[in-house]
Structures are given as structure tokens and as C-alpha cells.
Amino acid sequence: MAVSNDDKTDTCPRCGATFHCGIAGPGPCACTQVKLDTRPLRAMMSLYPSCLCPDCLRAIAAGAPVQAPART
């Protein structure tokens, strides 16, 4: 059975939350809604193999560290 892109959920590699990445679907991608400076964007690209959730993108844009604090 095929799964449509609309039903696909992703897991944020930074925080573990599930979310829908809009880049392949009909909705806007969170990446286009958040302004990130070059330095954090490059760090994200080197640390994470896939997209981050909207909450993590907004947190990083607001100055949070790119690498998430360790979970306890």
C-alpha cells in the first residue's frame, strides 16, 4: 500500500518530536517560514541528516544552541 506525502510524518533529529515536513507536500515548509543566519544553518547541516521540526527551527533562530541539550 502506498503512503502519500500528506500522511508522512518525520522525526526531528534534534528533539525527537514528530512533525510533517512540507517541502514535499502541498503545505509550506517550516524552513521557508523561519529566518536563520548562515552560521547556525551550516551547523545544522553538519549535525543533522534531515529536517528539524518547526519548534527547533524557531528556537535556533531565536538564539538557542544548534545542538540540543542532552536528554536525561
Q: Is 33 inside a domain boundary?
A: yes
Q: Is 32 inside a domain boundary?
A: yes
- Condensed to tens digits (0 to 9), the pLDDT of residues 34-64 reads 999 999 999 999 999 988 999 999 999 999 9
Q: Is 48 inside a domain boundary?
A: yes
Range of the domain at 21: 8-61
Q: Is 17 inside a domain boundary?
A: yes
Q: Is 26 inside a domain boundary?
A: yes
pTM for this structure? 0.78
Q: Is 40 inside a domain boundary?
A: yes
- First CA to last CA distance, the chain: 38
Own/partner long-range contacts of 58-62 (Cβ < 8 Å, ≥24 apart): 58/34, 60/36, 61/34, 61/35, 61/36
Count of domains for the chain: 1
Q: Is 42 inside a domain boundary?
A: yes
